Amino acid sequence: MSIGHPAAQLRDDALSRARFEFRWEDQFNLSLDPETARSYHDETLPKEAHKLAHFCSMCGPKFCSMRISHDIRAEARAAGMEQMAERYRDGGDLYVPQSELLAEGTAR
């Protein structure tokens, strides 16, 4: 549909940025069918406050990969990028041990 359209990439990039920054209203408005996009979102998260949420109903708040990416970035900024790079350089702990999740109460 948008192949060859000069603004297609700009629009797609803008939509991606809005998605990653959880700007839900911008996402709806940049979509090809804003009303349908908004209605799909509102089927499960209808409140206005949900338009500010850093997750949607697909993965939920605990497993939203974009929220987790933001959290990791914030942690890296706080810890200093070099310290975080060192942590992950030798295999790191990308996978949290189940015992740790159980202790946090985020796993069964």
Query: Nearer to ligand SF4 by C-beta: 28 or 55?
Result: 55
CB 16 to ligand SF4: min, Å = 11
For ligand SF4, the closer CB: 31 or 87? 31
Closest approach of ligand SF4 to the CB of residue 34, in Å: 17
> Distance between CA 103 and CA 105 in Å, rounded?
5
Contact 45, 57 (CB under 8 A): yes
Q: How far is the CB of 89 from ligand SF4 (least distance, A)?
A: 26
Nearer to ligand SF4, 3 or 58 (CB): 58
Half-sphere exposure of 18 (CA within 13 A, CB side): 16
| Spatial CB neighbours of 7, under 8 Å, sequence gap ≥ 6 | none
Interface residue list for ligand SF4 (CB under 6 A): 55-56, 58-59, 64-66
Q: What is the end-to-end Cα distance of the chain in Å, rounded?
A: 45
